[in-house]
Amino acid sequence: MDARPEADGTYKPISRQQVSDCVKLAMLAIGVNPQRMSGRSMRRGGITAARQQKVPEDVVYATLGDGMKRAGRLYIGDHSIEELYAVSTACEGL
C-alpha cells in the first residue's frame, strides 16, 4: 500500500478492505495462514490486549475513534491472544 498525502498534507482514511489486506499481509509475513484473518481480527485482539494491560477504557476508545459510544466493547473478551488465535487456526480446515 502506498500512502501519499493529499495536497493539504492530510491523508485519506483507508478502507476496511485495505485494513484487512494489511492484516493478511502481516500474518503471512510471520508464517500464519491469513485466510480467516481480517481487520476485525486486529481490532478484537488489539482492544483485548490493551484492556488486559490496563490501558484506560476512555483512552482505548478515543484512540479507536469510537469515543463515548464504546462500540468496541463488543470485541473485548477475557481470552488470551493465544486463545483468540486458536479459534482462527481451528477454522482453517472449514
Model confidence over 33-44: pLDDT tens digits?
Answer: 888 777 777 777
Q: How far apart are CA 81 and CA 27, in angstroms?
A: 14
Q: How many separate domains does the chain show?
A: 1
Q: Does residue 48 lie in a domain region?
A: yes
69 versus 61: the higher-pLDDT residue is: 61
Q: Does residue 9 lie in a domain region?
A: no
Percent helix, strand and coil across the chain, each rounded to 5?
Answer: 60, 0, 40
Q: Does residue 11 lie in a domain region?
A: no
Percentage of the chain exceeding pLDDT 70: 70
Q: Does residue 58 lie in a domain region?
A: yes
